[in-house]
Structure 1
Amino acid sequence: MSCLATFKTTSMALLFERSCREAGIGARIAPVPRKLSSSCGLACEFPCEERTKAEALAAERKIEVAAVHDLDKI
């Protein structure tokens, strides 16, 4: 199951992806689906099993995540 983190800026999306990969979380940049709203056209997809770890990492590194969505529910 995959989750998708959305961001207000491209730089936050890229920083989130890099930080996740450094922490061993399999993350990749993806376009924001049309069903979701974001001022930035980039999102980051990662395993939902790693959501708690990814959110803690984002908070620790002051990465501004707009929202996290379960791709199976959108």
Structure 2
Amino acid sequence: MRKKEIRTVITFSTTTAAMKMEKTSKESGFSGRLIPIPSEISAECGLAWKCEKQSEEETEIFLQEKELAWDGIYRVLI
């Protein structure tokens, strides 16, 4: 069984915004992946981005620099 870790998770209002995050991250080398929304979080879109090791601050800076739309940034045990 995989050990759970605290990770930064980004939620989105739309699936389109989540898909744009995936595309931009791959192009920029920002590690992470799309996941279903963890049960601890609620959001309009059913997808979230799970960051590998980035902090909330690093993540927010990336989102702002790339002009991406997001709903919230959370630290979640997953």
Match of 2:48 among 38, 43, 56: 43
Moved over 3 A (4+): 50-54
- The residue identity in structure 1 corresponding to 2:13 is K
Cα offsets for 1:23-74 (capped at 9, x unmatched): 11112110001221101000111124264443233223321111111123x8
Structure 1 portions without partners, runs of 5+: none
Report the structure number with the largest CA radius of gyration.
Answer: 2
Paired position in structure 2 for 1:66: 71
Contact 2:15-2:45 within 8 A present in 1 as well: yes
Match of 1:4 among 5, 9, 13: 9
Given the two structures, how large is their TM-score scaled by the length of structure 2? 0.75
- The residue identity in structure 2 corresponding to 1:21 is K
Give 3-state SS (helix, strand or coil) of 2:64's partner: helix
Give 3-state SS (helix, strand or coil) of 2:54's partner: helix
For the aligned residues, what is the CA RMSD?
A: 2.0
Structure 2 portions without partners, runs of 5+: 1-5
What number of residue pairs does the alignment pair up?
Answer: 73
